[in-house]
Structure 1
Amino acid sequence: MSINKMSYKGQIVIPKQLREKYGLKPECSVRITEIDGHIAIIPLLDDPIKDTRGILKKKYPEKTVTTDEMIKEYRKEEKMLESRREAKS
């Protein structure tokens, strides 16, 4: 963790290792917001569609899975979780 000073214009420097870790490059867009009483800097995707392409392949690398199959699997998991919650009650 580093300690930085804010300039008179309200500017701060994000440490290099954090910029690299989160893929922050010059001129990239970020959202600055407050979460639970803390200031949060959230990197925004340059092209959300392009940047999220292929994320489902990571979960299913061995085969191509249709959206219908994925929905069925998620519903099955949700029913299982619901039945566990009901069993605990």
Structure 2
Amino acid sequence: MTIVTISSRYQVVIPRDVRERLGLKPGQKVQALPFKGRVELIPLEPIEAARGFVRGIDTTVPREGDRT
């Protein structure tokens, strides 16, 4: 377990081992969420990373008669 200190400006440094395990880069954005009495930092991925994630999805679905 790694312990960090909150600075007088409410800043924290993410330890190197955590940054490396998550692949965090300088300037990368993270979302900070309060959750059950703790703060969770969720790395945000650029929208380009989602490109092609539904490739190969089955698009054969029944359509209503007035939709084509």
TM-score by length of 2: 0.69
Residues in 2 aligned to 1:23 and 1:3: alpha-carbon distance in whole angstroms: 19
Q: How does 1:3-82 map to 2 (within 5 A)?
A: 3-45=3-45, 47-48=46-47, 50-56=48-54, 65-68=56-59
Question: Runs of 4 or more off by more than 6 Å in structure 1?
Answer: none
For the aligned residue pairs, the C-alpha RMSD in angstroms reads: 2.1
Aligned length, in residue pairs: 61
Q: Secondary structure at the match of 2:59?
A: helix
Change (3 A) 1:66 1:42: closer
Stretches of structure 1 that go unaligned for 5 or more consecutive residues are: 58-64, 72-89
- Aligned identity (percent) is 33
Change (3 A) 1:41 1:66: closer
